[in-house]
Structure 1
Amino acid sequence: MSEGFVLQSAEVIPIDAVAIFHFNDVNVSISFLSDTSGLFPSIFPQESPIGKFLSLSGTFGGEITLSFHYSAKNEVSPIAVLDLPQVPVSGKETEVLLRKLGAVSESSYNGIEIYSGRGLKIFRNGNRIIASPSLILIQSSIRHFKTKSSIMDNHDFRRMLTHTHEGDDKLFINIQQAGKFFSGYTDYRFWRYSDFMSKISSWSAFSIDRELKGVSLNGKFFNYRGKAEFSEIFSNIEGEKSEVWNLLPYNTYGALVLSVEDFNALLDSYYEHRRSYNVVEEVEYERCKDWFLTQKPAEVVLALIPYKSESRWVTLIRSEVRRGSGRKVASTFEFKGALATLFGKSFSYNPEKFVVTSGKWQLIGDEDMIREFASGDFEKYTLGDFMEQGEAGDMLTGSDSPLKVVANVSMMQDSVASVFRDPAHERVAVWLHKKNYQVLFFQIFPDLDKKSVDFSLSVISQRVPNLREPDTELVNVPDTVRIPVGPFLITKGQKEKMYLEQMPDNKLRLIYTDGRGIWAIPFTAPLRGFVEEVDYFSNKKFQMLFASGNKLYLLDKTGRYTGPFPKSVDSLILLGPKVYEHNGDFSIMLLHTDNKLRLYDRNCKPVEGWQDITTEEMIEGFPELMKIGECQYWILRTRLRTLIYRHSGEKIGDLSGKNTLLPDTKIRILSGTKVAVTTRKGKEISLDLQSGEIKKIRKRGKLF
């Protein structure tokens, strides 16, 4: 080709490649594909077959190309093409590398010898070595090479290369084949999103910029299906800076932001995109458009926020001028579904029951969420405040792209890990907990050459010293709840008793029983009343587990934080943690500020199948775990009554009205799963813990 990017290795890459990574220096590929300093764990760990191949190739230098191909087993497998340097030409470099790989001749295919070594199938062609964990892919590569067919026979790929500038490191992805990546790398629950992903563009080409605290991918979407491509919506749309960052709360999971100069032009472009799929009802679309433009919009935001142990959607519309009287009063939102009609299905996730107008902003969502916005509490620690503590701050506030998407991975590490299927899931889960500031920031820009749409994806992962915790006033402690302040007795793992105490400036100090200090470390917020001793590593060396804000911390006896901690949970913690030991393991219970008790496993993930325990009155402490027969039950005592729950958190029986139990009722085992309990009127009743059936007492059993 006379112009554009030249990919010499294309001649051995089969036409069905769904992605191609090219590096002019194999050592650069090692830092990107096998490095472990980024947000996600390495694509090819050093112990993997391709990881070993890259590592051994680094001593020889040369260019490396990796192509990815989908197999019928819902897997994506790679081919690595190493072009060794032409100077000096000794003819022995490939032989030396094959020996280092422990490669031995295994078979022949179409007249070309295939080697096997270190989990790879390999063949060579001149100064080039081609390797893959898949024999089928190696045979496909040989077949394409022999017949002079390759990825270059893909017309769209070839067109893209002609408009891609030369550069050291390039990544090419066939967006139309996104479904194959989803089935290859993600859990099946997320496969339904692959259809939308495949409609973003035809192909993308981008370069890699590795920085100390993250990776930036900058490139272009090449749209060969016209307005049917989602990114084409923004090909002629000029953007503006967003003002939402200082309105959303600090723990916002993610936000989609549309901030443009001309919303009328954007709506016309959206209309053409949706019409290409025949999903536009003309009359309804015009009605919604007329209403929306009367709002004089400058910005539209859809955000997902943790609130009251749930994830809540909220939509925000910023007008060019202030609206209304300034009174923050919630009223019924009368245009439910209009934003989804205009901007797509994502906006339908919001129930859109109420709206509050505040200055230039309209806040739309369910009533209690909107009232929380109106109270101003969220503005005490905003997403902008959180972001400006790390590298993403300037990116967010300085961006003038028409479409911005931010994912605050710091606040949803376990949820992000759950996207991936095994074996990636476990590696991602462990890796995400190693940093406390992790952000994905995606932007789309119109391109001046009109042949593509520009985009950037910034992946930021860093540990921010003294990252601000939620202000203590954001945790509303009811007057009836007593938060123990310590000192907290430490007895396990050493001969002498100790105490962990929190000082007036929030520092944590370990002391002996006579008051002699051992060490003190900085801390920034009050503990939530408990310090539990756990053997997290199962080595008889106990650590101290405690909570503050929405995080749990693990501290060893030397004053060092340890393990994959701190770990974040979705809701602020009022009281806890309370540890329950069972079968050599332990579970953690937390009382959240929304008056809900939730059970977590040792890794601070909600226990599968758990039903949150909540009551009309304030919960002031943790339940007792009682074993009756072969099963365990939770006995929760409030100031007003006693309630009994199954181990899953499910309430047992209708213990209300005349059957309301005394707060201090004793529990007597009768027989099997039946127990005797006392109502507030002083009468004993029989409660079947299995069926929930309540009867009058006929026999007395032994006291538990």
Structure 2
Amino acid sequence: MVFQSENLANAADFFTENSFFKANSDLAFFKEIEEEIEFFKGFKTASSGVICFSAIGKKNIATSFIASSEDVDFNELSSTVSNRKSFTYEGKEVNEFKWKEKSLYAVWFDQNIMVSNSKLIIENKIRDIANAIPADEAFKSALKTTDSSTPSIYIQTEDFKNLYNKAFAEHTYLLFSNITDWVGFDLKLDTDEIKLSGVGVSQENADKKLDLLKNQERLKHQIATVVSLNAIGFESYAIPDFEMYLEQRKKLGYSYNNTNANFFEAINEVGKIHYTQEDLVVLKSSNAAEAFASLQPIIQSQKNFRDFEIYTVLNAEMLQIYAPLIVLKQANFVTQIGDFFVFAKHVEALENCIINYLNQANLALQVNYKKLENKLSNSSNVLMFALSENWLAHMQTKSHASFKDKVSNLDLKNYHGVGLQINVDEKFTYVNAVMLSTPQNKNSSLVKQANRFKLIENSLIHPEFFTNWRTQQRDVFLQDEQLQLQLLDAEGKLIWNKSLSEVVLSPATEFDIFQNTRLQLAFATEHKIHVIDKNGKDVSPFPIQLKEKITQPLQIFDYDNNGKHRFMICQGNRLKAYNKEGKLVKGFDFKTDNSDISRPPKHIRIGKKDYVLVQESSGKLHVLDRTGKERVSYETDAEFSGNPWFLYDGQFTSTTKDGNVVQITEAGDVQITEKDLLSNHFINASGRLLVTLSENILQINDVEIELDYGLYTSPQLIQNQDKTWVTLTDTQAKKLYVFDEFGNLLNGFPVYANSKASYYSLETNKVKLMVEGEENAILLYEIN
């Protein structure tokens, strides 16, 4: 790879005003490059010079500098270089010296000087010139295509692949592979935009895969309509003339079987969508009805999924006609989404595509994509696009160990995507690439389906997140119909299972029993208190066997955040506390008078005082102290609804049976606020937020939202940094809603769901949601 500029001494400064390079200037990766070229900034160069990056061996990258010898004066550099000496190679004098502990080598060729940190590169160049090996004709042609008034980058695609493989174990998504020999780019950097405009050149008679597109009409690519927001990226090829395409295949020596020609003749766009789990191939038709009719003889109905028919493909290798542009050797299944025919190896991949399409979680609808698309030509032979964040996360898994940190710490700085557009002419390939920074409104959010996987059996409990303290990854905890506890990773792969004899009283509680940041999971079954570690192993002295039946989910209180955990269990009308040694806590004793405890106890702290709230089936509320004694006495004729109690506005808050809000102060004063909620209403609250749901009316503080009629779960509150969101699910319509605290529905919602949501927040201002879907499916959504 070659970088050329009219003034190399100031080349590094060229990048300093761009937001992407500013954001990453402190990263080791960019510092290493800056150090490599810092030496060259000491030259008084005013004429054109180039910096070359070359792959050396399996791990190393060499940096070389070429400029006019008139612009290099070693005497001026005498204070910064040391150990200067010379040796002869193939009759040519080579200067060797040290600069900041780095060994550099310099050699003069006529009017030019070459300096490199690789002795091998210098020796190779001396031999090339001595043996009169001509310069690469394609490179010479590429040099003629660029604008001398702007910095330029030249990429030899084969060498670039070698450079790429220094960082990544696999060269998947290597954009220039087999496209051209050399491509020369003019580089344009604005504050929030990086643009490369160039021409690709190949040796004469060197056939490349894009030659298959010669003489094809350029089109506006529409594949983004079915590209989900959890995709890594896509590539799309315009092939409106299938007959001409077959002729090119024959001419270039590729197979050109015209089986299923009637179907392919109705196709004008061929694309591949890349995902971490399984790629999809998408064919767009200009006449979908005609294309579907011609496909009938080779497909059979497999299943109906959300009103989309999925078919088995009888000729699973039919898409090989598009190789090497697009490769999917096992196109086992297909579904039609509008004008698009989507092929996959497995049914689940098509189901995921359908879900995201119905959720409108697709790339074509995103403002960021539309803005970047407007920076490119309206039509082209090829369009490629990478969703930056997803691509970066995927490439971290493909990075060599020495390069992983450099990738993971990269700050994309609102550069949400990279677009690459290619047009093919008879002799040249025209390439344009754009990265555009489009800052997201701090008050806006975007939801995407991060993953979906299916369970072998239905889960008896609502799946929950469990943090792996070592990796900080959130795994999925559930219990199947055989009473087996299971822990799955975010891809749905089994980590461990554990046999139990009873059903878990969910939810479970994640906590740190030893105060050493190693998290455990605690839960109760009907006769045991369990604590397990991240590997599913019991934490001694648990499990604790109890004779009497446990009737509510386990609660863990740590009053002073000092690790003195209290394991609170309900047994009918009794509330008991155990310590982490598995012993009953002496001095704590509470039982109700008239009915059983109806909900798990709740710990609320106001100032320095602790309150334990216990509800009876009769509706009565007890407000206890740490020892189980009544702490707050109150009098009221109101009948409580049985909904949970919350701390809102400094008071214990819930509702009455006749649909009003009731509040009790620490002093025992009772206040009733009329609300006229219907009998089957719900309530949730935090310090400053009061949420109620009465039939289809959701009220968030003073804001009323009229929902469609349905069967709704109780509203939940999600805390994300300084924001609070309200989420609830219509299990009848299978829709999950998320509102902000002002009653605004978050972008992209509602999404598909068949249950309430489990969630966790990340420091990066993201929230992960987990819900149950159909057919034992688990859906993971991500809100940015």
What is the correspondence of 1:551-566 to structure 2 with a 5 Å cutoff? none
Residues 256-289 of structure 1, C-alpha deviations (whole Å, 9 max, x = no match): 212343233234334544x25xxx3x6xx22144
Matched, 1:408 2:292: no
What is the match of residue 117 of structure 1?
A: 99
Distance 1:367 1:619, change over 3 A: farther
- SS class of match (1:261): coil
Matched, 1:383 2:363: yes
Maintained 8 Å contact 2:219/2:380: yes
**1:77: Cα distance to partner?**
0.7
**1:380: Cα distance to partner?**
2.5
| Structure with more helix by fraction | 1
What is the match of residue 228 of structure 2?
A: 249
**1:407: Cα distance to partner?**
0.9
What is the correspondence of 1:239-638 to structure 2 with a 5 Å cutoff? 239-273=218-252, 275=253, 280=255, 285-293=257-265, 296-305=266-275, 311-323=277-289, 328-344=308-324, 346-348=326-328, 352-365=331-344, 366-374=346-354, 378-388=358-368, 391-395=371-375, 399-421=378-400, 423-432=402-411, 434-447=412-425, 450-461=426-437, 463-466=439-442, 468-471=444-447, 587-589=472-474, 591=476, 611=495, 621=507, 637=523
- SS class of match (2:78): helix
What is the match of residue 650 of structure 2?
A: none
Aligned counterparts of 2:250 and 2:545: Cα–Cα separation in 1: 65
Return the letter of the residue paired with 1:301: G
Maintained 8 Å contact 1:156/1:224: yes
What is the match of residue 85 of structure 2?
A: 106
- Percent identity of equivalent pairs: 12
**1:249: Cα distance to partner?**
2.6
**1:297: Cα distance to partner?**
1.2
What is the match of residue 173 of structure 1?
A: 155
Return the letter of the residue paired with 1:286: N
Maintained 8 Å contact 1:623/1:636: yes
Matched, 1:136 2:120: yes
What is the match of residue 37 of structure 2?
A: 51
Residues 230-266 of structure 1, C-alpha deviations (whole Å, 9 max, x = no match): 1222232222112232333333221121234323323
Distance 1:575 1:129, change over 3 A: farther
What is the match of residue 566 of structure 2?
A: none
Return the letter of the residue paired with 1:217: L
Distance 1:232 1:141, change over 3 A: same
What is the match of residue 71 of structure 1?
A: 56
Residues 461-504 of structure 1, C-alpha deviations (whole Å, 9 max, x = no match): 5543338433599999x99999xxxxxxxxxxxxxxxxxxxxxx
Q: Which one of the candidate residues 176, 198, 202 is aligned to 1:219?
A: 198
Q: Is 318-327 or 134-143 further displaced after alignment?
A: 318-327
Aligned counterparts of 1:383 and 1:55: Cα–Cα separation in 2: 43
Distance 1:31 1:149, change over 3 A: farther
Aligned counterparts of 2:406 and 2:192: Cα–Cα separation in 1: 20
Distance 1:646 1:180, change over 3 A: farther
Q: Is 71-80 or 170-179 further displaced after alignment?
A: 170-179
Aligned counterparts of 2:413 and 2:198: Cα–Cα separation in 1: 27
Return the letter of the residue paired with 2:270: V
Residues 573-616 of structure 1, C-alpha deviations (whole Å, 9 max, x = no match): x966x65657xxx735355999996679xxxxx99x98388999
Residues 138-189 of structure 1, C-alpha deviations (whole Å, 9 max, x = no match): 44445656x3846x44344345546667554333322244443244x233x3
Return the letter of the residue paired with 2:267: P
Aligned counterparts of 2:80 and 2:513: Cα–Cα separation in 1: 58
Residues 484-543 of structure 1, C-alpha deviations (whole Å, 9 max, x = no match): xxxxxxxxxxxxxxxxxxxxxxxxxxxxxxxxxxxxxxxxxxxxxxxxxxxxxxxxxxxx
Maintained 8 Å contact 1:21/1:67: yes
Aligned counterparts of 1:618 and 1:263: Cα–Cα separation in 2: 59
**1:227: Cα distance to partner?**
6.7
Aligned counterparts of 1:35 and 1:340: Cα–Cα separation in 2: 46
Distance 1:139 1:644, change over 3 A: farther
Matched, 1:26 2:8: yes
What is the correspondence of 1:145-224 to structure 2 with a 5 Å cutoff? 147=130, 149=132, 152-158=134-140, 160-161=142-143, 168-183=150-165, 185-187=166-168, 189-190=169-170, 198-224=177-203
Distance 1:160 1:416, change over 3 A: same
Of structures 1 and 2, the one scoring higher in RCO (CA 8 A, sep 6+) is: 1
Aligned counterparts of 2:209 and 2:317: Cα–Cα separation in 1: 20
Residues 640-683 of structure 1, C-alpha deviations (whole Å, 9 max, x = no match): 9999999675x78xxxxxxxxxxxxx98769xxxx89799999x
Aligned counterparts of 1:667 and 1:115: Cα–Cα separation in 2: 62
Maintained 8 Å contact 1:78/1:133: yes
Distance 1:431 1:182, change over 3 A: closer
Aligned counterparts of 2:320 and 2:477: Cα–Cα separation in 1: 33
Residues 62-107 of structure 1, C-alpha deviations (whole Å, 9 max, x = no match): 3221223332344231211233777xxxxxx614542353344223
**1:199: Cα distance to partner?**
2.7
Structure 1-normalised TM-score? 0.60
Maintained 8 Å contact 1:271/1:342: no
Maintained 8 Å contact 1:597/1:612: yes
Aligned counterparts of 1:242 and 1:166: Cα–Cα separation in 2: 32
Aligned counterparts of 2:505 and 2:263: Cα–Cα separation in 1: 46
- SS class of match (2:120): helix
Distance 1:266 1:164, change over 3 A: farther
Maintained 8 Å contact 2:461/2:478: no
Aligned counterparts of 2:192 and 2:342: Cα–Cα separation in 1: 34
Return the letter of the residue paired with 1:319: S
Distance 1:464 1:85, change over 3 A: farther
Return the letter of the residue paired with 2:280: V
Residues 348-398 of structure 1, C-alpha deviations (whole Å, 9 max, x = no match): 27x5443333432323334344345445754523212335377424247x5
Aligned counterparts of 2:524 and 2:251: Cα–Cα separation in 1: 59
Distance 1:386 1:620, change over 3 A: farther
Aligned counterparts of 2:67 and 2:527: Cα–Cα separation in 1: 72
Aligned counterparts of 2:437 and 2:219: Cα–Cα separation in 1: 26
Residues 104-128 of structure 1, C-alpha deviations (whole Å, 9 max, x = no match): 4223333454332221414364985
Maintained 8 Å contact 1:231/1:444: no
Task: Tell me the C-alpha RMSD between the 2 structures.
Answer: 5.1
- SS class of match (1:265): helix
**1:440: Cα distance to partner?**
2.0
**1:415: Cα distance to partner?**
1.6
| Structure with more strand by fraction | 2
Unaligned residue ranges in structure 1 (runs of 5+): 1-18, 87-92, 483-573, 601-605, 653-665, 683-701
- SS class of match (1:266): helix
For the pair shown, the structure with the greater C-alpha radius of gyration is 2
Distance 1:592 1:431, change over 3 A: farther
Distance 1:667 1:107, change over 3 A: closer
Maintained 8 Å contact 1:297/1:320: yes
- SS class of match (1:286): coil
- SS class of match (2:308): coil
